[in-house]
Structure 1
Amino acid sequence: MNTALTILIDGLSYASWLFIVALGLTLVFGVLKILNIAHGSFYALGAYAAASFVGWFATMKFAPEWSLVAMLFAAIAVAVLVAPLTERGLMRFFYGRDEVLLVLVTYALFLVLEDVTKLLWGANPYYVSEPYALFGNVEIGDQVYVGYDFMLMGLAVAIGLAVWWGLNRTRHGKIVLAVIHSEEVAASMGVNVSRVYMLAFSVGIFLAAIGGAFTAPLISVQPGVSVGVIIVSFAVVIIGGLGSIEGAAIGALIVGLARSFAVHVMPEAELFSIYIVMALVLMVRPEGLFQRIQARKI
């Protein structure tokens, strides 16, 4: 029983940050029709920025609780600085082009951002320990779990609900959905499609960055951290279905629980377990579990 509970909690914790990152990936695909290989680099920028902001807050003698605010500011800073440069300076020149070309462009951007992070932060690892200790430990039965993991689960639920509400219950969200369904019709009705692209890309980068920022206390922030993230993020959206919010949630849960089960039962199959699950889903549902008839509906 204790092992099953540990697998469940570890799986939910892993799925939480993964859902946040994958949500940004599927949102960008739904609106811009871009399979963004560089999404993992935005995650890494968020993690590095969080390490820098938390360290700066510590040197300014702020209370440890402010480290959470520092991580949020780090994610916002990445979105505000990187989104305009990337979307206006690069991506908008390739809209409507062949999908393979778009993948190659984002892959080139991924390589550039990898070197940029090394130039800015070097090759040494960074550690963000302050936020991890804020939530103490949680006792369930005779097992003790880290409270930060439960905070991360709550954050994932809050962000998922906020994105769903923003898309389905606000005027700007309905405009975004109109562009997703048909950008030509939306443009003919007076919608500024270019502005919607910028908004969606900015939100996608923010989600990747906030996923990286709040995962930083759990990992060693170092070069190469973006590679593993983009691989498992693609696994999530492939399992759930590209362009689906509920698909991203279910896909993250499946990947998180599969990985957690492998870690506790068969550690040597940790990474392989994700691909097994992805292959099984693709055999039954090649379009993903939640893919609609409208291929890019969120």
Structure 2
Amino acid sequence: MLNAFAVLIDGLVYAAYLFIVAIGLTLIFGVMKILNVAHGSFFTFGAYGAASAVGIYFNRGLPEAGGYLLMVVLAMALGLVLGLILERGIMRWVYGRDEVVMALVTYAAFLILEDVVILIWGPGSYAAYQPLLSAGNIEIGELILSNYDLGLIAVAAMLAAACYWGLKFTRYGRLLTAVIFDRETAAAFGINVRVVYTVTFVIGAMLGALGGAIMAPKIAVTLGIGVEVIVLAFAVVAIGGMGSIEGAFAGALIVGICRAATVHLFPQVELFVIYAVMALVLMIRPYGLFVRAQPRKI
């Protein structure tokens, strides 16, 4: 019973991490039909920015709560700046091109940003252990849980609820839904599709950077973390259905629970299980679990 509870908690923590990383990627694809490889760079900048900031902040003995706020604010600011630069400076020139071309453009941007990371932070690794340490632990029976991990689950749940509310009950959400369903018809009815594109890309970039910031205390912030993240995010959105927020949520839960069970029971196949789950789902549902209905144009 205790082992099953440990699997559940570990699965939820990993699923929360995957969902926060994948939601920005699936949002951009759903609206703009861009497979944004540069999303891994947003994660990397968020992680490096958070690691640098919290190291300076906590070493000065400032209030701990402010350190968590600093992580979030700095990550969102980095995502905002990077998103605007990439969307206004590069992506707007390739709208309407083949999806493969746009994916290659974002891959080129990813390679450039990886070099920018080296120029800013150097090739060394960074550690942002202070928020994880200051959060403390909680004991449930014989199981010791990190309060930071529980907070990560809460953040993912609030983010999922906020995205659902925003898409269903706000004006921008309705505009976004119209553009997702049929961008040509939405433009014909007076919706400024370019503005929707810009806002969506920036929001996706901010979410990617946020994922990097909140995961920085749990990982070694080093070169290459963006590559691993983008592969995992692609796996999650492929399972759930490209462009589906519900799919990203379901995909993250499935992968998180399966990966946690494998770590506890068969740790030697941990790296294999994520892609095995993806292959199994895509064999049954080639477009993912929550693929959106596509309009038929006549």
**What SS is found at the alignment partner of 1:230?**
helix
CA RMSD of aligned residues (A): 1.3
| Counterparts of residues 78-227 of structure 1 (less than 5 Å) | 78-227=78-227
Q: 1:144 is aligned with what amino acid?
A: I
Displacement of 1:224 in angstroms is 0.4
d(CA) in 1 for partners of 2:98 and 2:30?
A: 16
Asked whether the equivalents of residues 65 and 131 of structure 1 are also in contact (C-alpha less than 8 Å), the reply is no
Deviates more, 1:212-221 or 1:45-54: 45-54
Give the Cα separation in 2 of the matches to 1:190 and 1:53. 43
Q: Is the 8 A contact 1:15 1:252 kept in 2?
A: yes
- Which sits farther off after the overlay, 167-176 or 153-162? 167-176
CA distance in 1, matches of 2:115, 2:267: 32
Q: Would you say the 8 A contact 2:239–2:281 is kept in 1? A: yes
**Gaps in structure 2 of 5+ consecutive residues:** none
Correspondence for 2:43: 43
Q: Does 1:291 align with 2:291?
A: yes
Asked whether the 8 Å contact 2:79–2:208 carries over to 1, the reply is no
Quick one: distance in 1 between partners of 2:160 and 2:243? 14
Q: What amino acid sits opposite 2:5 in the alignment?
A: L
Deviation at 1:277, TM superposition (A): 0.6
Give the aligned residue type for 2:50: A
Per-residue CA distance 1:202-229 (angstroms, 9 max, x = gap): 1101111111100000001000001111
Q: CA deviation at 1:186?
A: 1.6
Pairwise CA distance, 1:52: 1.7
Query: Which stretch has the larger CA shift, 239-248 or 178-187?
Result: 178-187
Q: Which moved more, 1:42-51 or 1:175-184?
A: 175-184
Question: Moved runs in structure 1, 4+ residues, more than 4 A?
Answer: none
Equivalent AA in structure 2 for residue 136 of structure 1: G
Q: Which amino acid aligns with 1:72?
A: V
What does residue 52 of structure 1 align with?
A: 52
Other-structure match for 1:238: 238
The alignment of Structure 1 onto Structure 2 pairs a total of residues equal to 295
Percent identity for Structure 1 against Structure 2: 52
Q: Which residue of 1 aligns with 2:250?
A: 250
**Distance in 2 between residues matched to 1:270 and 1:115, nearest whole Å:** 30
For 1:162, the aligned partner's letter is: A
Choose 58-67 or 114-123, whichever is displaced more. Answer: 58-67
Question: 1:166-216 CA distances to partner (integer Å, 9 max, x unpaired)?
Answer: 111111111111111122222222211111101000110111111110000
1:55 Cα offset (Å): 2.3
Q: CA separation in 2, counterparts of 1:123 and 1:10?
A: 31
Whole-angstrom CA distance in 2 between matches of 1:252 and 1:258: 10
SS of alignment partner, residue 145 of structure 2: strand
Q: Quote the offset at 1:59 in angstroms.
A: 4.7
For residues 42-81 of structure 1, what are the alpha-carbon distances to aligned partners after superposition, in whole Å with 9 as ceiling and x for unaligned? 1111101111221232355421221111111122211221
Amino acid at match of 1:177: T
